[in-house]
Amino acid sequence: MSNFGRVVKSTGSWYKVSVDGEITECRLPGKFRLQKKEVTNPVTVGDFVKFTIGDDGSGMITEIEERRNYLPRQATHGRRGEQILVANVDRAWVVQSVKQPKLNLGFIDRFLVACEAYEIPAGIIINKSDLANPKAEEFIEDITSLYESLNYKVCLTSIQKKETINELINHLKDNLNVFIGPSGVGKTSILNAIDPKLNLKTGEVSEYSNKGKHTTTFASLVPLEIGGYVTDTPGIREFGIVNIEKPELSLYFPEMAEPRENCKYYNCTHYHEPDCGVREAFELGAIDADRYHNYLSILQSLEK
């Protein structure tokens, strides 16, 4: 008999597959590894799979449903050997804090570009709102209206204010959510605030930063009592974007879509070229200055 479920945890050789919360430990026949050469992990958390159950009660994956989207561990944009962090994501949230650590707009914008490139709906969580002084509050209001005008969801949270957590819960419910953000912003604390029974460890220096670049790190899905999942990835210090070509970058800034139609050159990078619609929009104040500067800084980091 064939069963259908979702992979909620992977160790690389074993996969925990959930069917309505009931877990079966599954293995994967070697043929799948050969079939899906473009990625280093042929099955990943978030995947929907069919599996059979053997005499010993363990499962064998027989089919992997095609992915709607996926988030790579490092955004390499379709490059061979890309390692997938999680598949079939409903929303990826970049988590930042008001302070400790300081809010980083560059991190947010790099993250949003990656989400646009991978066609993943994105949101922004600004945590530790209890630490905001009036000046910080004003700044948060400004960036909230900026990002909301670009159609990104923005949630201001504090683990000390239950109502902010309840509002976040409304957005997470029944979805597969990914939390990504620097160490210490409170990703795990938010999960505990959502569901105290999870009792996850917080406040510890992430192991991630001590590991080599190619160390395999697998995400796992944390089921929410209210329905849906959240993955809590260890602090990602930088969300690398490579393999996007320079003239392509502005496609991932929604506010540049219209102005770029007015550029003289089809491959304009909106930096030094004459008759550039995007630069004109920036100079007129129609494109936010921080966003444009972050655009330029990402542009500079691209290879070609």
Ligand X SMILES: Nc1nc2c(ncn2[C@@H]2O[C@H](COP(=O)(O)OP(=O)(O)OP(=O)(O)O)[C@@H](O)[C@H]2O)c(=O)[nH]1
Interaction site with ligand X (CB under 6 A): 127-128, 130-131, 158-160, 181, 183-189, 202-203, 206, 234-235
Query: Which one of the spans 12-20, 95-103, 154-162, 182-190 is the region binding Mg ion (CB under 5 A)?
Result: 182-190
Structure tokens at 128: 């530790």
Strand partners, 72: 84
- Partner in contact with 131, chosen from Mg ion, Zn ion, ligand X, none, beta carbon below 5 to 8 Å by kind: ligand X
Instruction: Tell me the pairing of strands 59-64 and 22-27.
Output: parallel
Q: Is 164 in the site for Mg ion (CB under 5 A)?
A: no
Which of 39, 89, 143, 278: binder of Zn ion (CB under 5 A)? 278
Nearer to Mg ion, 195 or 290 (CB): 195
Structure tokens at 109: 């914008």
User: What is the smallest separation between the CB atom of 70 and ligand X, expressed in angstroms?
Assistant: 21
- Partner in contact with 220, chosen from ligand X, Mg ion, Zn ion, none, beta carbon below 5 to 8 Å by kind: none
Helix (H), strand (E) at residue 166: helix 162-172
User: What is the smallest separation between the CB atom of 244 and Zn ion, expressed in angstroms?
Assistant: 16
CB 225 within 8 Å of CB 61: no
- Partner in contact with 184, chosen from ligand X, Zn ion, Mg ion, none, beta carbon below 5 to 8 Å by kind: ligand X
Cα–Cα distance measured from residue 79 to residue 195, given in angstroms and rounded to the nearest whole number: 37
Nearer to Zn ion, 16 or 260 (CB): 260
Structure tokens at 234: 């260890």
Q: Is 6 in the site for Zn ion (CB under 5 A)?
A: no
- Partner in contact with 41, chosen from Mg ion, ligand X, Zn ion, none, beta carbon below 5 to 8 Å by kind: none
Q: Is 177 in the site for Mg ion (CB under 5 A)?
A: no
Cα–Cα distance measured from residue 214 to residue 212, given in angstroms and rounded to the nearest whole number: 6
CB 276 within 8 Å of CB 299: no
Q: Is 129 in the site for Mg ion (CB under 5 A)?
A: no
Cα–Cα distance measured from residue 206 to residue 179, given in angstroms and rounded to the nearest whole number: 15
Which of 41, 44, 157, 188: binder of Mg ion (CB under 5 A)? 188
Contacts of 31 (CB under 8 A, 6+ apart): none
Cα–Cα distance measured from residue 55 to residue 244, given in angstroms and rounded to the nearest whole number: 48
Nearer to ligand X, 2 or 210 (CB): 210
